[in-house]
Structure 1
Amino acid sequence: MTRNVLVLTHPTRSAAQRTADQVAAELRAHGMTPVTEEDVTATDDIELVIVLGGDGTILRAAELVRGRDIPLIGINLGHVGFLAESEVDRVSHVVSRAAARDYVVEERITLDVSVTRPGRSEPEHSWAINDVSVEKAERERMVEVAIGIDDRGLSTFGCDGVVMATPTGSTAYAFSAGGPVVWPDVEAMLLVPISAHSLFARPLVVGPESRMTVEVLSRSYTSAVIWCDGRRRIDAPPGSRIDVVRGSERVRLARFNLAPFTDRLVGKFNLPVAGWRGEDKTP
């Protein structure tokens, strides 16, 4: 039986293409068949995706195989690379572990979004792994929004935008906007206002069955632009309603390293831990 592995690279980095050639050669040496992005739709039985790049490339890979329950493993060629499992100097290790099926699959929640616009009877739908951001369309103006949870109004304010995120996305855009870091095994969703002119505009953490809603008020002087993972765009004029719920599908990440998320957080952000439990290793 042929064991097909999709190898997806950052499209413009020459170093990524060289690494992809190395991965393909090592896959063949293990009796596996590398599949390129051009062939993915014609290949039914892909068992794994090896992604070479940063988190953006991993998000592109998830979009490419959405609905097929294929796990992804990232080899980081970017900067922080929170979704990546390994660094580029461990390519051979990744391929050998993949060949032996020596990994566990971690499932992460996603978001489903529906946008109802004035004058249109049917909403537009999309999805996200990290976040759905509602952003002002004009730089010089604030967008006026009302936010609600579970079909109950919560607050109204002018702002630069609102980010609705998964725990996976809590270390991405939501983190930059002042939201909390949420451990990836927590079943929850976040709503984080951006530069809101309001006394009550704090980050919110809601349950997995909740519905988060942002309405672009009719009085808003500017439209909004909705970005799903920064990749898929939906325009939202005044009078639009954006509903976000837990996604019907999960993204599957292959993991070799079962170390706690705390270790990943410390490593990716290079956090100082000298002095923890008396172990002060500073000079």
Structure 2
Amino acid sequence: MSPTSEGRTSLQPRRVLLTVHTGRRDIVALARSSAARLQESGIVVRLLDDEAKELDITGAEVVPADAEAARDTEIVMVFGGDGTFLRAAELARFTDAALMGVNLGRVGFLAETEPEAVEETLQAIERCEYSVEERLAIEVDVVDVDGTVVGGTWALNEVSIEKAERSRVLDVVILIDGRPLTSFGCDGVLCATPTGSTAYAFSAGGPVVWPDVEALLLVPTNAHALFARPLVTSPNSVLTVSVPADGNRARVSADGRRMVSVPDGGRVDVRKASRPVRIARVHASTFGDRLVAKFGLPVRGFRDARHAGPGHELTTSRNVFDREVVDGNGDVVAGGEAAGGGTRDDG
């Protein structure tokens, strides 16, 4: 999908909202230089009021960090790791703005650009030479024992229905489309999107799903059961996790950012959200390429990593911890100490 100008006329200036992990000086410096470049090209730079002082960018608009922050902006440009990206997704949730991330964390599956390619990314924004992907998001209803919806939230990656008391097992009943499937004790249950399949669900043993696949994932965590396999369902399914009234108390965590308590005897219904999340893409690399680069996957055969066999055309791979680039002979050809390493919940 190509970028659009919905809600914006030729008389209105183009706007880019910056969201920045301001806890690191190298990230702040990169955001400042990027803002200057955008302003030189006539694009209005917008900042969040809780970041503006640290960024100190002359001539920038400053807005509250609320649901209106990304209104009338074309791009929300994210400088940080996946935690910063997920915060930006909240800001852009009910607008037409597309998210474009510069990965300054450790792995950064959500971000489009590595720091060394920022120049190319800025040029693409200036020239409107980017595409926009629409990613499936999920909506959550928390329902009490009487069937009344008492809370709700949404997620781009996953929602975790987890035990509130660490010392006790959480008993759950799993239903798909209103029909009971199985029950077990566990630490929790993850309901994830394809985008979130490389996040918490991946760590819990779930499958990697290409982000353009329309599906919902259900992944138990530390289940006490013989049948507790990860499930992949239709995007039109409703995933339900029901918690018995006499069991451990539960809560919902959405993208590790938003918490909702589950009442005793209540349930959590998860379904595809009516509104997707828009992510801007500049580079031509595929999701498979990103898997190889982020995880340093061996693509030359396990018997001889130096053998010029299948996969040899992928001549470089990244070490996600220090950003070293390794050539086909296993020699380090580039690196970057300054890139540092954030975590999933940086910023």
State the TM-score bracket (shorter-chain normalisation): over 0.9
Report the AA paired with residue 164 of structure 2.
A
TM-aligned CA deviation for residue 199 of structure 1: 1.0
**Paired position in structure 1 for 2:57:** none
1:263 is paired with a residue whose SS is: helix
- Partner Cα separation in structure 1 for residue 126 and residue 221 of structure 2: 44
Choose from 271, 274, 277 the match for 2:300: 274
1:163 is paired with a residue whose SS is: strand
TM-aligned CA deviation for residue 129 of structure 1: 0.2
1:69 equivalenced with 2:96 (yes/no)? yes
Choose from 106, 120, 128 the match for 1:93: 120
Cα-Cα RMSD: 1.7
- Partner Cα separation in structure 1 for residue 93 and residue 117 of structure 2: 27
**Paired position in structure 2 for 1:30:** 41
**Larger helix percent:** 1
- Partner Cα separation in structure 1 for residue 158 and residue 148 of structure 2: 25
Report the AA paired with residue 267 of structure 2.
R
**Paired position in structure 2 for 1:239:** 265
- Partner Cα separation in structure 2 for residue 200 and residue 131 of structure 1: 22
- The alpha-carbon distance between structure 1 residues 180 and 50, as it changes in their structure 2 partners (threshold 3 A), is same
**Paired position in structure 2 for 1:2:** 13
Bigger drift between 227-236 and 267-276 goes to: 267-276
- The alpha-carbon distance between structure 1 residues 282 and 28, as it changes in their structure 2 partners (threshold 3 A), is closer
Q: Is the 8 A contact 2:76 2:99 kept in 1?
A: yes
**Paired position in structure 2 for 1:57:** 84
**Paired position in structure 2 for 1:157:** 184
TM-aligned CA deviation for residue 120 of structure 1: 8.0
Where do 5+ consecutive residues of structure 1 fail to align? none
Q: Is the 8 A contact 1:30 1:96 kept in 2?
A: no
1:113 equivalenced with 2:140 (yes/no)? yes
TM-aligned CA deviation for residue 223 of structure 1: 0.7
**Paired position in structure 1 for 2:274:** 248
TM-aligned CA deviation for residue 234 of structure 1: 0.5
- Partner Cα separation in structure 2 for residue 104 and residue 192 of structure 1: 31
- The alpha-carbon distance between structure 1 residues 243 and 122, as it changes in their structure 2 partners (threshold 3 A), is closer
1:28 is paired with a residue whose SS is: helix
Where do 5+ consecutive residues of structure 2 fail to align? 1-11, 50-61, 302-308, 314-327, 331-347
**Paired position in structure 2 for 1:181:** 208
2:237 is paired with a residue whose SS is: coil
Report the AA paired with residue 171 of structure 1.
T
Choose from 160, 164, 174 the match for 1:137: 164
1:56 is paired with a residue whose SS is: helix
- Partner Cα separation in structure 2 for residue 233 and residue 60 of structure 1: 14
TM-score with structure 1 setting the length? 0.95
Q: Is the 8 A contact 2:193 2:215 kept in 1?
A: yes
Identical positions, percent = 50
- Partner Cα separation in structure 2 for residue 171 and residue 43 of structure 1: 27
1:36 is paired with a residue whose SS is: strand
1:91 is paired with a residue whose SS is: helix
Choose from 21, 28, 31 the match for 1:20: 31
Report the AA paired with residue 95 of structure 1.
L
2:149 is paired with a residue whose SS is: coil
Report the AA paired with residue 275 of structure 2.
E
- Partner Cα separation in structure 2 for residue 246 and residue 11 of structure 1: 33
- Partner Cα separation in structure 1 for residue 99 and residue 242 of structure 2: 35
- The alpha-carbon distance between structure 1 residues 202 and 255, as it changes in their structure 2 partners (threshold 3 A), is same
**Paired position in structure 2 for 1:265:** 291
